[in-house]
Structure 1
Amino acid sequence: MGSIGFGEIALIAIVALLVFGPDRLPELSKKAGELMARAREATRSFTDAIDNEFDEGMSPIRSLKAEYEATKDELTSAAGTVLDLDTVMGPVDAAKPKVTDESSESKEEDVE
């Protein structure tokens, strides 16, 4: 469905002129314009009301999203800390066999 073109408007004007006559046509045109203005205002009011309701409904969702993002950032930061801990644990893990060997030697000396 497209918009009304010049040809359609001209046809409507000619039919209106024939049906209502030249005396009543200006009065009817004025009323039609007023009705169109009211319809536009009602549509705008309805659209604004829908937008406001939508925004009110989305408010809790937006706050949940913000909480989610904050939690995700915290977890990402904590994961970075854990990765740093792995870097520290590398030398500790490398030293374990040496400590275990020395501990075993110490126990053997205590047994003798």
Structure 2
Amino acid sequence: MNESFKALADPTRRKIIDLLREKDRTAGELAEHFDMSKPSLSHHLATLKHAGLVQDQREGQFIRYTLNMTVLQEVLGWFLSVTSAGSGGKDASKNDKEEPHS
């Protein structure tokens, strides 16, 4: 899961995730949304693939990229479990009962 968080730390990769949330896309379709070289975009896609967040499938001469929803759900589930949203609004760092002050 650490690789997923590292991959999501970059705003360009988060934008790629947002674009793939809308629909599956080829590298060329993704490149239309960025002002960067193809090797740079390829590096970002490889990082997302390595983290398991994105999958690719060859279609003729193109490679279509899709989100791996299973990994995204795992990351989101973990994140919610360590935040107040995942603990019913309670601060997990506090005890349920406070010690009386002397």
- TM class by smaller structure: 0.3 to 0.5
- With the length of structure 2 as denominator, give the TM-score of the two structures: 0.33
Larger Rg: 1
The answer to which structure, 1 or 2, has the higher relative contact order (CA under 8 A, 6+ apart) is 2
Q: Counting strand residues as a fraction of each chain, which structure ranks higher?
A: 2
Q: Counting helix residues as a fraction of each chain, which structure ranks higher?
A: 1
- With the length of structure 1 as denominator, give the TM-score of the two structures: 0.31
